[in-house]
Amino acid sequence: MYHTLDLHFQNYEHAIASFLIETDEGPVLIESGPYSTFPSLEKGLSNHGYKVSDVKHVLLSHIHFDHAGAAWAFAEKGAKIYLHPFGHDHMHDPTKLVASATMIYGDQMDTLWGKMEGIPKKNLKVMEHEEVVEIGGHSFKAIHSPGHAKHHIAWQWKDTIFTGDVAGVKIEGGPVVPPCPPPDINIEDWLQSIDLILSKNPNRLVLTHFGEEMNPNIHMQELREILKDWSEWMKVKWEAGMSNDEITPEFMAYTAKQLKDRGVSDHGIKLYEAANPSWMSVAGLVRYWKKKLEN
């Protein structure tokens, strides 16, 4: 049994989650969320009888702020942080990560993500592909799954895979959509990672944005289709010479219509936008096509 901790990002329910698994060696946390939601995370832990200092193991899917921004606060209390090899240096010294994000978010950085501090190397544990860590009678397997980010891990636990972003965003029963921020989006890698996840025959997928999916094959097929749809849509606009600023309102309208056509309410569309901002996918997919077609 695992527990979903809703982090109430930007005061929205069901936008970002962390996941708590109780073991003989204390609680294991999958995803830390951003530091801006740390009070919600503390409250979620408290609801299950734990303090932050009780968490000695934090498993990260990748180092984007919405998944890993608060990891340092657990490391500060002695926790081991498990992550992809490509994420190690950035979590030890997040200077470049913060500078890059500040260029994107500007004065919204603190409101959205909160601060991010470096983590001592002794608290960082790099996980190789399919490496298993045993904690308190439980086994956690790291599945390297690039596409959304080159430093992405999905975590297999029993018949469950905690998917980070490789299985997309699906909120309150709406359709699945792919988060495509810069700089690492790679459609071919992502499609291969989808196949890799399914080859593990999970009974359930657990999405950071947001919650449980009990039909992995159907879910992943829908993700394949929408990933290709968004990618091809973006290619047409970019090849027509449109700028990101020109593409963004059209893409927001296009994706909002897709959600509405699938029965998502106006409030639901705002939730999707909070978890997966449209303009980020414009930047990521345009960069993908530039790199692909200019090489």
The b/e string for 23-55 (b: 16+ C-beta within 10 A; e otherwise) is eeeebbbbbbbbbbbbebbbebbeeeebebeeb
Q: Write the CATH number of the domain with boundaries 2-221.
A: 3.60.15.10
Check: CB of residue 116 under 8 Å from CB of residue 69.
Answer: yes
246 confidence band (pLDDT: 50, 70, 90): very high
Q: Express each pLDDT in 201-228 by its tens digit.
A: 999 999 999 999 999 999 999 999 999 9
Percentage of the chain with pLDDT > 90?
Answer: 92
Q: Express each pLDDT in 134-145 by its tens digit.
A: 999 999 999 999
Q: Express each pLDDT in 170-203 by its tens digit.
A: 998 999 999 999 999 999 999 999 999 999 999 9
Please give the average per-residue pLDDT across 259-274, as a whole number. 94
Which is more confident, 294 or 248? Answer: 248
Please give the average per-residue pLDDT across 14-42, as a whole number. 97
pLDDT of amino acid 289? 97
For the chain, which residues make up each domain, given as ranges? 2-221, 229-294
Residue 295 to residue 292: CA distance in whole angstroms: 6
Q: How far is CA 252 from the centre of its chain?
A: 20
- Asked if residue 295 has pLDDT above 80, the reply is no
Please give the average per-residue pLDDT across 45-71, as a whole number. 97
- pTM recorded for the entire structure: 0.96
As given in the structure block, the two tokens for residue 190 are 């992502």
